[in-house]
Chains A and B, each alone.
Chain A
Amino acid sequence: MTTARPFLTILAQRALQAFIVAFIVGIVSFAMMQALPGDAAYRIAAGRYGYDMMDAAAAEAVRVELGLDRHWIVQLFDWLGALAQFDLGRSLVYGSPVIDEISVQLGYSLLLAAGAVIASLLIAVPVGIAAGLKPGGLVDRVTLAISIFVRAIPAFALGVVLVLAFAVQLKLFPVAGFRGPEHLVLPSLTLGLGLAAVSNRVVRDAVADAMAAEWQLFARTKGLSARLSVLRHVLRNASLPVVTYVGVQMAYLIEGVVIVETVFAWPGIGHALVHAIFARDVAMVQGTALTLGLIYVALNLVIDLACRGIDPRTRSA
């Protein structure tokens, strides 16, 4: 499942992934820019000086300044060059530097992501262990059925249902926005339930496999108590596939952040991305998509290192 990789290889692989993310985001953003209707110079001039202060001369000045009259391939290199220098430009809508907007939103998104992962682990680990200790038992079958059902509900639909149930009907939690910790509950739960619907089965498999392993039986027959065998052998072995799978789920997490933030009007990067796409604010789209992509890479790196920490085989190789 996990292949033995030296530390530097892990770093290099993830660095390459980060580079690819930046490259794809840059190219797609550039394509988006080219696809915008109307004259880009006019639009940028309007963004800079306001519609009232803008005229053909100002647009022409912008065109010359930014080289918008050059061939598109030259412009693409320019675009990617700016990206390589971490110059994300200014929001076409607000006029403020993209980096400022993102630095505010980033904290909210990370808070939501952390809340979601914690919620999913709080649900998946106990449920999975209970099911895995008795494979085929009642708990196993019931949780399987629930997992299948919850998994079939897309994150935003689940969000809508939770909002309707807990916020509108029961008035237990706030509907949207962020003003305090109680606002974190529903969005985290929405994402966490979606994550847990699959990961509880992974925990269940890992525990069931470890309990059925011959080394587990040998740990018992050599004289260790059931408790010691679980503590010293089963948990560590079972955690490896679980942590690996949490890595796989990071894609779902990032996707979920984008959608769930929009459902709950959460002031994070995902919401900003959707908003920017809607408003055709290309600079913001590029900045937010890039940040989300890099968070994804960073989370994968954390998982790689966690697996390395758990599995000594990858270190001694």
Chain B
Amino acid sequence: MTVSDTPSSDTPSIAVDALSVFFGATRLLGPVSFRVAAGETLVIMGETGAGKSLAAQAILGILPKGLRAEGSITINGRRVDTLGPAERSALWGREIATLPQEPWRALDPLMRAGPQVIEAHRYVAGLPPEGARKACARDFETLGLQGAERRLPAALSGGMAQRVAFAAATAGQAPILLADEPTKGLDAERHARVVGLLAQVPEDGGALLVITHEVAVARALGGDIIVLRDGRVIEEGQTRHVLAKPQAPYTRDLLAADPEAWPKSENPTDGAIVLTAKDLAVTRGERVLIEGFDLSLRAGERVAVTGPSGIGKTTLLDTLAGLIAPAQGSVQRAAGLGRHAVQKLYQDPPAAFPPHVSLERSLRDIARLHDVAWDRVTEYLTALNLYPDMLKRRPDAVSGGELQRISVARALTVRPAVLLADEPTSRLDPITQRQTLELLSEITKDQGIAIVLVTHHAAIAENWAHQSITLRAPA
């Protein structure tokens, strides 16, 4: 990779100098400065709410109403922050291409995949109708999308939708690609495919700017990195160096939160068997998703279940919970376990609480129904680093991480023997994710509770659990 110091109009580049974004007098982002030239990659990394997306929006000129950008932005040698909206939008697709955050929502739901790419070739690249059709067919072939031309966005998988969006975004041959959280919501396999696609851009002589919260994405793309926290630059440098030798404490935390870096869990205690599944089958409609699933769950044991999306992980969990009758096989609870001995933790914590009722009322209801003293509940809360004061609020007024811990405390109130957790941390930031899972393993160990964790993250399954089960579709 060569770095050219003299910007000229014919080398594709993007240069940002002292960019800040304000809401009124409050600075939400910046000041941040960087430069990406042809063949180079820049990764902007930070947690949700760190202001990463504001950088992308400021560069494109699509900041939400009420927000204002300062500083200079130069695209391909031309200062753009001083241009009017019409002139800035003329750059889109031609000078700078954008990959959307959530590809499903970025595609017109009523138009088939092919025409959405064809129209970009036709109206942005200016090809004649026949040429545009051919160019689209070429794109679909290179991207492994053959046969998807006639599909509507709703019938595309997340990975396919992202590739269709990629084809549409790059049809105008813009030399700069801006990707904001391009891997959001994709499972491991599709994840790798999109990252591979992005890595190709600088190899082909383009300039790549990627915004992500995932360390793995940054590691795979290399180039330079900027670490953001609360809108401020914490650390910057070559990705390789920063990831290997982080200087700022925050960067260290962020890297330590990457499940790849977690220490391997110790061996399980030899508890009594609390739940047994024998030759279990899970079906959706007529389709058999999982067959011959066996599990003997011991008190205090942590089991992780992984597998691609759509394989039936959630349905399996519901079957273990007794919410769904097994299509085949059996689920047996140990003798003496009550009706409430199996509890669930959910992926989206706010969706697991009655939204219009204060958290305290929800918890007191449960304590009352199970004859548990309120003091016990507050003990659990304290053990989970929570303050009973925050219970006065409604579920939407506490953070996702806090709410997930409150839902753990809520489950503990009924003294369960088994906790079934369905991606309980996938909506949380990496650092919060690590804290939550650590607390969860501590408290279940203390109480001798067995836990089954469904996750799409192979490293979490590997390092956090005692035992990891990977599901595969039956042949």
Is A–B contact present in the complex under a CB 8 A cutoff? yes
Question: Would you give the shortest CB distance from B155 to chain A, in whole angstroms?
Answer: 7
For residue B430, CB closer than 8 A to chain A, the reply is no
Count B interface residues, CB 8 Å. Answer: 32
Q: Is the interface of A mostly helix, strand, loop or mixed?
A: helix
What distance in Å separates the Cβ of A52 from its nearest Cβ neighbour in chain B?
69
| Residue tally, chain A, CB below 8 Å to B | 24
The answer to whether residues A221 and B98 also contact, given A214-B105, A313-B152, A316-B152 and a CB cut-off of 8 A, is yes
B83-125 CB mask vs A (1 if < 8 Å, else 0) is 0000001001110011011100111111110000001100110
Q: Which chain B positions have C-beta within 8 A of A222?
A: 92-93, 97-98, 120, 124, 168-169, 171-172
- Give the number of residue pairs across the A-B interface with Cβ within 8 Å: 82
CB distance from A218 to the nearest CB of B (A): 4
Contact A215 B107 (CB under 8 A): yes
**Chain B residues within 8 Å of A215, by CB:** 105-109
Check A223 for interface membership: any CB of B closer than 8 A.
Answer: yes
Given A222-B120, A223-B94, A224-B123, are A316 and B155 neighbors across the interface (CB < 8 Å)? yes
What residues of chain B lie closer than 8 Å to A312, measured between beta carbons? 110-112, 152
Within the complex, what minimum Cβ distance (angstroms) separates A129 from chain B?
Answer: 18
Q: Which of B140-193 contact A (CB under 8 A)?
A: 152, 154-155, 165, 168-169, 171-172, 174
Are B100 and A214 within 8 A (Cβ)?
A: yes
Complex Cα gap A218–B56 (Å): 13
| Contact (Cβ within 8 A) B120 A224 | yes
Which residues of B are found within 8 Å of A237, using beta-carbon distances? Answer: 108-110
A221-B105 contact in complex given A233-B111, A313-B152, C-beta closer than 8 Å: no
Q: Is the CB of B107 within 8 A of A313?
A: no
Q: Which residues of A contact B124 (CB under 8 A)?
A: 222-224
CB distance from B110 to the nearest CB of A (A): 6
**A240 contacts the other chain (Cβ, under 8 Å)?**
yes
- Chain A residues with Cβ under 8 A from B110's Cβ? 236-237, 240, 310-313
B275 cross-chain contacts in A, Cβ below 8 A: none
A257 to B407, CA, bound (A): 56
Q: What is the CB-to-nearest-CB distance from A307 to chain B, in angstroms, rounded to a whole number?
A: 11
B412 within 8 A of A: no
Assembly CA distance A196 to B107 (angstroms):
31
Q: Which B residues are CB-close (under 8 A) to A224?
A: 93, 119-120, 123-124
Which residues of chain A are near B406, meaning CB under 8 Å?
Answer: none
What's the minimum C-beta distance from A237 to chain B, rounded to whole angstroms?
6
B329 CB to closest chain A CB, in angstroms? 33
Tell me which residues across on chain B come within 8 A of A240, comparing CB atoms.
110
Q: Does B60 contact A (CB under 8 A)?
A: yes
Q: Report if B18 contacts A (CB, 8 A).
A: no
The answer, yes or no, to whether B473 is at the interface (CB within 8 Å) is no
Q: How far is the CA of A237 from the CA of B109 in the complex (A)?
A: 8
- How far is it, in angstroms, between the C-alpha of A226 and the C-alpha of B92 when the chains are bound? 12
Within 8 A of B (CB), among A149-190: none
Q: Give the 10 A-B CB pairs with smallest separation, nearest first.
A: A223-B93, A223-B124, A218-B106, A214-B105, A221-B98, A223-B172, A221-B92, A215-B108, A233-B108, A222-B93
Give 25 CB contacts A-B under 8 Å. A214-B106, A215-B109, A217-B62, A218-B98, A218-B107, A221-B92, A221-B97, A222-B93, A222-B97, A222-B124, A222-B171, A223-B93, A223-B94, A223-B120, A223-B124, A223-B171, A223-B174, A224-B120, A224-B123, A232-B111, A232-B119, A233-B108, A312-B110, A312-B152, A313-B152
Q: Given known contacts A223-B93, A223-B120, what 16 new A-B pairs fall within 8 Å (CB)?
A: A214-B101, A214-B102, A220-B89, A220-B92, A222-B169, A222-B171, A223-B171, A223-B172, A224-B93, A224-B119, A232-B119, A233-B108, A237-B109, A312-B112, A313-B109, A316-B155
